[in-house]
Structure 1
Amino acid sequence: MVKKSLVALGAMLVLFPTMAFAAEGDGPSAATLDMGLNALWILVAAILVLLMQGGFILLETGSTRMKNAGHVAGKTIFTVGLVSLVYWAVGYGFAFGGDAGESLNKFIGIGNFFFDPTIVAQDGESFPSTIFFVFQLAFAAVSLSIAWGGFAERAKLSVYLIFTLVFGSVIYPIIAHWIWGGGFLAEDGAQDYAGSTVVHLTGAMAALAATILLKPRIGKYNKDGSANEILGHNQVFTSLAVLLLWVGWFGFNAGSAVAVGDGFFGYVAFTTQLGAAGGAVAALLISWLVKGKADIGVTLNGALAGLVAITASCAFVEPWAAVVIGLIAGVLVFFSQMFFEKIKADDPIAAMSVHGAAGIWGTAANGLFATPALVAQVGVGKEGLFYGGGGHQLWVQVESFVICGAFAFVASFIVLWVIKQIIGLRVTEEQEIIGLDLSEHGNYGYPEALKKSGTLNV
């Protein structure tokens, strides 16, 4: 028995050498080990969020026509690269710079432009600043990819380039600063744990501005106002996209704990799963009830809507409330899609419903369901209406999504309107019919399929 115990102890010391250092008294301190674990988790979470771009590629590709598939994929990679550069140069400084002074800092950050971090974490830091930058950059890239839903199948490639520069350097960072960077909404106690408003509503309002200015795709609406369904070419792609985004969301939400600590990030992941599940189930059931058929596309959007809605509240609500938030989001996204179809807002990816309507609901939900214990755990804001907090937190939540949503829409609309006046937003009718693969890139995403089909309008 003693022999077996010694062998086991020796094996553990080989596998976990820090135990040996601790025994000798000259190993890394507990603070250093905590910092290393925090850094490891945040980097893994950032990678998960960055991999969500694969989900956006498949979602937009599968939801649109084959003739635009290569354009969607290439455009996404290009804009992620471009937003990385402008966010490093300018955006991160506006979001998290701390040199603006007390008054100006309520509205914008100043500092950390062309971010030049220390090589390793400094004494007293919970994690290296380099890893925090990568994590926040991944969020900015997600918000930008959400916006592209309003541009799909008709915008010039040059418009993607110019809008990325402005969105990644100014529009998104300012909103991030207001809630996450110590701005005036943060001072008010706005609760948006991982970005229902900061990331999702911001991207959706940019998509709305683009949809209005670009106008619907050719053939979407008839002269009498009735709508034609323009089907995406691959529902398997869209289903796989939702799965990739769902998995990536654990980095999105649980990663926002930015610490391993007592394992609170596990609770965040737990409520995230419940919210997503509620959204998927509710969307399937409501579409089945109203349409008489269970709509797969609506179900997929319901899962995403549940994820978007729980993003603000995942750290503030009890499990039952997470389910309710997801269920309501699943129903909401169904009727929201019908509403935008009725007002002739051509949104091929349902960005305004999934990320806009659900983002608003998820942000407001904190004002109802946030519990005193979880508010104390996170240290932001107050408890919600149903837990004795009165209407204070609900008002703060409404204030945050109204102000941020309005700013994102107006700023995006102005930028796109100026672009429209100077170079135009939309490809020509001939280019749109041919498809953006050929007209913008000179090649097909599916070269064999399109050449054999004998038609480009697929």
Structure 2
Amino acid sequence: MTDGLFTANNIWMMICTALVFFMHLGFSFLEIGLTRQKNTINILFKNLFIICVGLLLYYIAGFNLMYPGEGFNGYLGFGGFGLTPPENGMTAEYAASGGYTYWTDFLFQGMFAATAATIVSGAVAERVKIGGFMIFTVIYLALVYPIVGSWQWGGGFLSTLGDTVNEAGEVIEKAGFHDFAGSTLVHSVGGWAALIAVILLGPRVGKFDEDGGSQAIPGHNIPIATAGVLILWLGWFGFNGGSVLSADPAGTSLVLVTTSLAAAAGGISAFIFSFALYKNLDLTMFLNGILGGLVGITAGADLMSPNEAIVIGLIAGIIIVCAVAFIDKIKLDDPVGAIAVHLICGIWGTLAVGFFGAKAGGAQIMYQLAGIFIIGGFCCLTSFIILFILKKTVGIRVSKEEEMEGLDLHEHGMDAYPDFRMNQH
């Protein structure tokens, strides 16, 4: 490999790392925009905590849990605490691309880790105890996320499902579960935890009336939420584009095109389908449709043609509208639509690899289903154990009084808008 190519790969991966980091501002804006003013500080605090503790945990143990290296049995391995660069000049020759430094590899993967907990933050907004949430985040990011990631990206058993090997144990034909950038390994991992947390927490006060009808609780700043979605879309160029793991012109260009087309199609189909059902042009549905398209294409962005990406996005947008209505119907309260976007569209995007693109086929559908069920079961079980123990010990929900007056006041003693107290409740 030439020094020029190595440098180009490394610069591209560092740019993508910065874009994925920027996504956390997008998540923050989206969450505060779709929730009430009185909880703004609380949401921003949680998101900052997730980034900081996520990076530290990934440094301490997460990176080497996710990429255990030699001797990994395919299910659970650990390469040691901290970071230990390879002896070959830190050029990451162990990686599939072989084209960027060990340090860049760590930082790029570390940005992904924090995203999973951010998904949970939005779903539990406005009624979760900050202490309980922080403990959950530490455990989930330190153990659950990297273990699941090791099963696929770390060379674990999901990555080898269906592989054909010869008598010498060499892989003749590669098959296996495919998740290019994390429809399941990031988004559904966060989405499953969000689902369990929402069930154990219960709905916000006033979300459902005595007859079980759903009551809208409008967000306090839709322009900020819109800015958040546009920032997330920009950040997804790094999220998916960096997952090529090199600056390969053909690979990165295709991924950016399929990512953008799926996002656009998701937004269009969500607002049109929502209008057909409810006769109003719902901006929040438009926003979540864009995100649904992005999540939906993430598993197979490297395998799809532009036409297939559009179809995946169109279906994701329709799924968003149906999923939001279904979640309301079963009386789950998700203030930002995180379960619909990240879990349900994550499942759709993972399945879409078996229906569209270069790996489409019946066998691939089965591999994708296997990955969904195995990871879903593990995440639900671990999330329930962690959250149930927290619920019975330190507690995970604030009191009714604290919820009504706002978490900013009770958890932080601060007001996000001290000069603008209208709509405080």
Residue 9 of structure 2 contacts residue 100 of structure 2 at CA under 8 Å; is this kept in 1?
A: yes
Which amino acid letter does the alignment assign opposite residue 252 of structure 1?
A: F
**Is 2:153 the partner of 1:166?**
no
For residue 230 of structure 1, what is the amino acid of its counterpart?
Answer: I
- The CA deviation at 1:160 is 2.1
**Contact 1:433–1:456 (8 Å) recurs in 2:** no
Give me the TM-score of the superposition, normalised by structure 2. Answer: 0.93
Aligned equivalents of 2:102, 2:227: Cα separation in 1:
33
- The correspondence for 1:47, drawn from 10, 13, 18, is 18
Secondary structure, aligned partner of 2:351: helix
Cross-structure match for 1:238: 225
* Residues 9-408 of structure 1 aligned to structure 2 (within 5 Å): 31-99=2-70, 101-102=71-72, 105-117=73-85, 121-122=90-91, 124=93, 125-188=98-161, 189-371=176-358, 383-385=359-361, 391-408=362-379
CA distance in 2, matches of 1:178, 1:170: 13
Gaps of at least 5 residues in structure 2 are 162-175
Kept in 1: contact 2:133–2:396 (CA 8 A): no
1:48, 1:112 → 2: CA distance? 29
Q: Distance in 1 between matches of 2:248 and 2:24?
A: 29
Q: TM-score of the superposition, structure 1-length normalised?
A: 0.86
Q: Would the aligned equivalents of 1:109 and 1:181 in 2 still touch at CA under 8 Å? A: no
Structure showing greater Rg: 1
What is the deviation of 1:122? 3.9
CA distance in 2, matches of 1:436, 1:210: 18
Counterpart AA for 1:194: A
Give the counterpart letter for 2:62 in structure 1.
G
In 1, are the aligned partners of 2:182 and 2:299 still within 8 Å (CA)? Answer: yes
CA contact (8 A) 1:55 1:245 kept: yes
**After the TM superposition, which of the residue ranges 272-281 and 111-120 deviates more from structure 2?**
111-120
Q: 1:193 is aligned with what amino acid?
A: F
> Post-superposition shift, 1:405?
1.5
Structure 2 distance, partners of 1:123, 1:114, is: 16
Per-residue CA deviations over 1:49-108 (Å, capped at 9, x if unaligned) read 011000011110001000001111122112210111111111111100114x35xx2112
Partner SS, residue 299 of structure 2: helix
- In structure 1, the residue corresponding to 2:419 is in which secondary structure? helix
Work out whether 1:447 is the aligned partner of 2:423: no
Relative distance call for 1:122 and 1:300 in structure 2 (3 A) is closer
Does structure 1 retain, via aligned residues, the 8 Å contact 2:112–2:186? yes
In 1, Cα distance between equivalents of 2:344 and 2:124: 18
C-alpha deviation, 1:118, in angstroms? 5.8
Measure the CA separation in 1 of the matches of 2:99 and 2:76: 24
Check whether the contact 1:316–1:370 (CA below 8 A) recurs between aligned residues: yes
Residues 92 and 102, structure 2, Cα contact 8 Å, conserved in 1? no
Structure 1 unmatched runs, 5+: 1-29, 372-382, 386-390
Identical residues among aligned pairs (%): 40
**Is 1:422–2:393 an aligned residue pair?**
yes
* Aligned position for 1:388: none
**Over residues 269-318 of structure 1, what are the superposed CA-to-partner deviations in whole Å (9 max), with x where a residue is unaligned?**
01111111110100010011111111111010000000000000110111
Question: Matched residues in 2 for 1:32 and 1:407: separation?
Answer: 43
Q: Do the aligned residues in 1 keep the contact of 2:189 with 2:376 (CA within 8 Å)?
A: yes
Q: Distance in 2 between matches of 1:234 and 1:322?
A: 31
Q: CA deviation at 1:116?
A: 3.5
Instruction: Give distance in 2, aligned partners of 1:274 and 1:51.
Output: 21
Are the aligned partners of 2:92 and 2:101 in contact in 1 as well (CA < 8 Å)? no
Bigger relative contact order (CA 8 A; separation at least 6): 2
- Following the alignment from structure 2 to structure 1, what is the Cα–Cα distance between the partners of residues 5 and 77? 29
For the residues of structure 1 that align with 2:102 and 2:147, how far apart are their CA atoms? 20
Deviation (angstroms), 1:164 = 1.4
CA distance in 1, matches of 2:92, 2:320: 47
Superposition deviation, residue 117 in structure 1: 3.0
Partners of 1:456 and 1:443 lie apart in 2 by 13
Q: After superposition, give the CA deviation of every residue in 1:125-152 in whole Å (9 maximum; x if it has no partner).
A: 4211110110111111111101112221
3-state SS of the aligned residue for 1:77? helix
Q: CA deviation at 1:262?
A: 4.3
Aligned residues: 406
Amino acid at match of 2:85: P
Q: Which amino acid is the alignment partner of residue 347 of structure 1?
A: D
Query: Whose helix fraction is larger, Structure 1's or Structure 2's?
Result: 1
Check the 8 A contact 2:46/2:121 in 1, yes or no. Answer: no
The alpha carbon displacement at 1:109 in A equals 2.7
1:431 aligns with 2:418: no
> How far does the alpha carbon of each residue in 1:184-205 deviate from its partner, in whole angstroms, 9 at most, with x for none?
1011111110000000001011
In structure 1, the residue corresponding to 2:317 is in which secondary structure?
Answer: helix
**Alpha-carbon distance between aligned partners in 2 of 1:122 and 1:64, rounded to the nearest angstrom:** 44
2:165 is matched with none
1:345: how far off?
0.5
